[in-house]
A and B are shown apart, each in its own frame.
Chain A
């Protein structure tokens, strides 16, 4: 199989590094791509489930822009809605009527919703949610999960990181995932001081296996929050609309007070939303919170079109099904090469890991070789499925995976194991 080269990406990166800190910063930094030289750094265009880099290489995209792409790049229905709104106006002196329409639609769509509020990024909403929790309770502390990611504001980052001072995180209590007893202990240690509990619907950190909620976990957390008057905040920025169109809390069968959405909500147009219960609406109203571009009408049109389209085609089910078939196929290909590919999390945003090498180096080699053959796989982060991935993409991906295993030379290792086993018999 032909493998890609990335001369133009590399050259552009060198230019970028002259004038941009890190060259490419944040979650798109090439640093965690191992080795970076096997990955494209700059994308030229996208269509459906695929994107093309500046060297002209074509990729079946399993990162989907790290989540925002959900219906496919350049989706005609969404882009048409945006174009129509742009003809009317985008950033004006007052919000456009589409804002009310979108809020009404979300309140109707999301389980238990009573209001909706719009911003740009996921972190805007997770910060807002904690401010509402503090305002509503008159308390300071926020309980979050160890290794849980909610954005880049200093309170969300760990102590010891650049730009974070102790005071930024002194009101954060980090407890392990799936540990109700740890939450009870935190409550006992800080009686009457905990304003909010924030977590993702399930635990999806980078570099380690993802974990679904244990049986009864969310129901127990809900019960404790009710008992203690703690605001339950769900950060559905990453999972949102990939498990259940009504919100991931509907998928896991519980009712939070506040839910943060971003990523998939607008199929790539910049918009995030906080959705909350009717009871929280007045509390949200008390916290002053806004931004220059938060009333942009075109992204609101994009979100409305995206949500309607996702609902019409039952997008979450499609992504879960495609993910399931992909994971089954990849696991089988790995087994054929004598390797164990472990998949965790939901199939529509799965985390994968070759378990034979705990250093992850073998997994990194395999993901890199797949990417160099046109299936864009990261080794450190959960992947994302979209509703645009096709049966043809699936087959092509499995072929690439197989060829990549051959390239990293695991066949011989698998054979060696088989030989060992035969010898033992």
Chain B
């Protein structure tokens, strides 16, 4: 699959779901969306579909179509969608023109807030609450990116084909966020929080700062693992495969 199309899958299925945690955990985002009642449908021509629903102060992001949507955002191509995620273009609303002011003003504020938490600076990371949310969102993005890359990136086909079954958990100690990837019957999916099944492999990062540096590629992973800052246990081939996949994320989302 071409670069733009893979990136569109990552934007809709790995980045966009972070709105859920953002609305739940960032007071400003919570305040902004408190009274929203709207279902926004993203449609990309020859690309993925996803929807974002705001209802009673909560946000849910899902794959595919939502019926009925309040507004449909149409993107002429995966590249068009990606330009919007990079803040360089606007979608064409196909349906729900009355929502235009909402989209350009209120929803844009929320997506700006998401960008703020996803694109850190050294100064911002000094603030523990910023660090915590940035780390959580980065962890989510990583976990959600794995199934997308395995399904859509050609070079990773041999990795996908050889992936054993089982759950891989990524967690931040002592009580930080957790995310996981489930591999079953040649397919993978991802989730946040504690997995329902016992993990076959587990990666635990000793604290928020370590996790942040590790997930953003600032830490040499071999050194971090050898020194015990990041611990890996269980069926390590599953983790090896994950890390090969995650190495592709910065090509799309840096």
Listed in ascending order, the chain A residues whose CB lies under 8 Å from chain B are 10, 13-14, 17, 22-25, 29-32, 34-37, 41, 146, 158-162, 166, 169, 206-207, 358-361, 364, 380
Contacts and interface: CB of A to CB of B under 8 A. Distances in A.
Contacts of A37: 227-228
Task: Give the residue among B198, B222, B227, B233 with the most A Cβ atoms within 10 A.
Answer: B222
B158 A35 contact: no
Contacts of A161: 244
Contact of B228 (A29, A32, A36, A166): A36
B247 A160 contact: no
B196 to A, nearest CB: 15
Nearest to B231: A35
Interface in B205-234: 220, 222-223, 225-228, 231-234
Contact of B158 (A13, A23, A158, A207): A158
The 5 closest A-B CB pairs, nearest first, are A159-B158, A160-B159, A22-B222, A17-B223, A30-B226
A160 B198 contact: no
A23 B233 contact: no
B35 interface: no
B223 A160 contact: no
B186 interface: no
B228 A31 contact: no
A34 B228 CA distance: 10
Given A158-B158, A159-B158, A34 B235 contact: no
B244 A35 contact: no
Given A17-B223, A30-B225, A359-B200, A158 B162 contact: yes
A32 B236 contact: yes
B162 A166 contact: no
B157 interface: yes
Nearest to A36: B226
B78 interface: no
B162 A14 contact: no
B223 A14 contact: yes
Contacts of A364: 233-234
A41 B226 contact: yes
B194 interface: no
Contacts of B222: 17, 22-23, 25, 29-31
B199 interface: yes
The interface residues of chain A, by DSSP majority, are classed as: loop
B159 A23 contact: no
A223 B40 CA distance: 65
B79 interface: no
A166 B157 CA distance: 11
B244 A23 contact: no
B230 to A, nearest CB: 10
B112 interface: no
A207 B235 contact: yes
Task: Give the residue among B158, B202, B220, B247 with the most A Cβ atoms within 10 A.
Answer: B158
B158 A361 contact: no
A388 B43 CA distance: 69
A162 B226 contact: no
Given A158-B162, A159-B155, A160-B156, A36 B234 contact: no
Contacts of B159: 158-160
A206 to B, nearest CB: 8
Given A13-B227, A17-B222, A23-B223, A358 B236 contact: no
Interface in B142-188: 155-159, 162, 166
Given A358-B200, A380-B236, 9 more contacts: A22-B223, A31-B222, A31-B232, A36-B226, A160-B155, A160-B157, A207-B237, A359-B166, A361-B233
B201 interface: yes
Contacts of A23: 220, 222-223, 226
Contacts of B198: 359
A57 to B, nearest CB: 17
A160 B159 CA distance: 6
19 contacts: A14-B227, A17-B223, A22-B222, A23-B222, A30-B222, A30-B225, A31-B222, A31-B225, A31-B226, A31-B232, A34-B236, A146-B162, A159-B157, A207-B235, A359-B166, A359-B201, A359-B234, A361-B202, A380-B236
A293 B155 CA distance: 36
Nearest to A9: B226
A35 B233 contact: yes
Contact of B244 (A25, A32, A160, A358): A160
A206 B155 CA distance: 24
A250 B247 CA distance: 44
